[in-house]
Amino acid sequence: KQEVTQIPAALSVPEGENLVLNCSFTDSAIYNLQWFRQDPGKGLTSLLLIQSSQREQTSGRLNASLDKSSGRSTLYIAASQPGDSATYLCAVSGRAGNMLTFGGGTRLMVKP
């Protein structure tokens, strides 16, 4: 059974810092990995999708890496801003079209 863990559970940083959020999964036989952002009381916004054959994906100030063999992914946020404050969720799928298994999330606060 796939289990996804995100560390840390919460993180508070001053504006401008570069930061890394971690995601680990127990079963390396994944099809893809998706990073989401959730603002309070809102739905999930997809940030990046990494297919299992890829090593990383970039979108603006965000860079996500994937090391499937070690069961790890990181989300790197450059030059953090107060608007980045949200909960970040990592989710993996075991095969095409399969359900996503979610981690518990990292609650990020960027202070001005």
Shortest distance, position 101 Cβ to another protein, whole Å = 7
CA distance 75 to 62: 7
Shortest distance, position 31 Cβ to another protein, whole Å = 8
Beta bridge partners of 75: 21, 64
CA separation (Å) from 104 to 38, 49, 82?
12, 18, 22
| Residue 83 phi, psi (nearest 5) | -65, -10
Residue 32, classed as helix, strand or coil, is strand
Shortest distance, position 80 Cβ to another protein, whole Å = 24
What are the residues binding another protein (CB under 8 A)? 4, 31-32, 34, 36, 42-46, 49, 51, 89, 91, 96-105
Which CB, 66 or 91, lies closer to another protein? Answer: 91
Which CB, 13 or 100, lies closer to another protein? Answer: 100
Which CB, 11 or 44, lies closer to another protein? Answer: 44
